[in-house]
Amino acid sequence: MIDSDVRKSALTATIENARTQAVRCAAGCVMLLAGNLPAAALAQTACPGIHVKILDIRSSTGAVACALFESSVGFPTEYLHAATQIMVIKVRDRQARCDFEDIAPGSYALAVVHDENMNGKLDVNWLGIPVEGYGFSNDASALLGAPSFAAASFPYGGENLEMTVGLHY
C-alpha cells in the first residue's frame, strides 16, 4: 500500500513537471514568434472611420467638441441641432482625439471648439471674435466669419481616414 502511494505520488509529480515544462515551452515559442513579428503586425489597427487628432490646444482646461456635418445646413454654428455626429472629449495633457466610426461614405465638414470653461458654446468677445479655440477641416479660414461648408468639406469613401485639425485662438 505504501509502495503504491509512493508510485502514485511520483507519477503525479512527473505529470505535473511535464505540464509545467510544456507551458514554459509554449510561452517561450509565443515570445520568440512575437519577437520576430514587425511592430506593425502587433499594433492595433483603428476601425474604419474618421479619426481626428486635435493640434495646438493651448491648455488642458475644459473639453474639445468635434462636430461632423454632412451638409451646409447649420454649419458650423448650429452644431447641436444640425451636426451628423458630435463628440466631446476631455482635454488631457493638451491633447485630444475624436474618432467617428460607422460613417457612411459622402462629403463631410468638421468644426472643432475648445470649450475651456465648459459652458457648451464658443465664447466670443464684444466684437464677436472667438476667445476660445476653434478649427475646421481643411484648415478652412475664418477671417471675417465662419468658413463655408464647401471650404471645409472633404470626401469620405468609407475607409480609415486620419486627419488633423489645428486650433486657432
User: Using one digit for the tens of pLDDT, what is the confidence trace for 102-113?
Assistant: 999 999 999 999
Range of the domain at 53: 49-166
Supply the pLDDT for residue 144: 82
**DSSP-assigned beta bridge partners for residue 106:** 156
Confidence band of 14 (pLDDT split at 50, 70, 90): very low
Alpha helix positions (H), 37-145: 39-42, 79-82
Asked whether residue 124 falls in the same domain as residue 56, the answer is yes
In the block, residue with C-alpha cell 465648459: 118
Asked whether residue 34 falls in the same domain as residue 115, the answer is no
Domain count, the chain: 2
**What is the pTM (predicted TM-score) of this model?**
0.70
Asked whether residue 10 falls in the same domain as residue 72, the answer is no
Asked whether residue 75 falls in the same domain as residue 147, the answer is yes
Asked whether residue 31 falls in the same domain as residue 87, the answer is no
Whether the upstream peptide bond of residue 155 has omega within 30° of 0, thus cis, is no
Asked whether residue 99 falls in the same domain as residue 148, the answer is yes
Asked whether residue 37 falls in the same domain as residue 109, the answer is no
Asked whether residue 10 falls in the same domain as residue 73, the answer is no
Asked whether residue 35 falls in the same domain as residue 94, the answer is no
Asked whether residue 35 falls in the same domain as residue 56, the answer is no
In the block, residue with C-alpha cell 510561452: 27
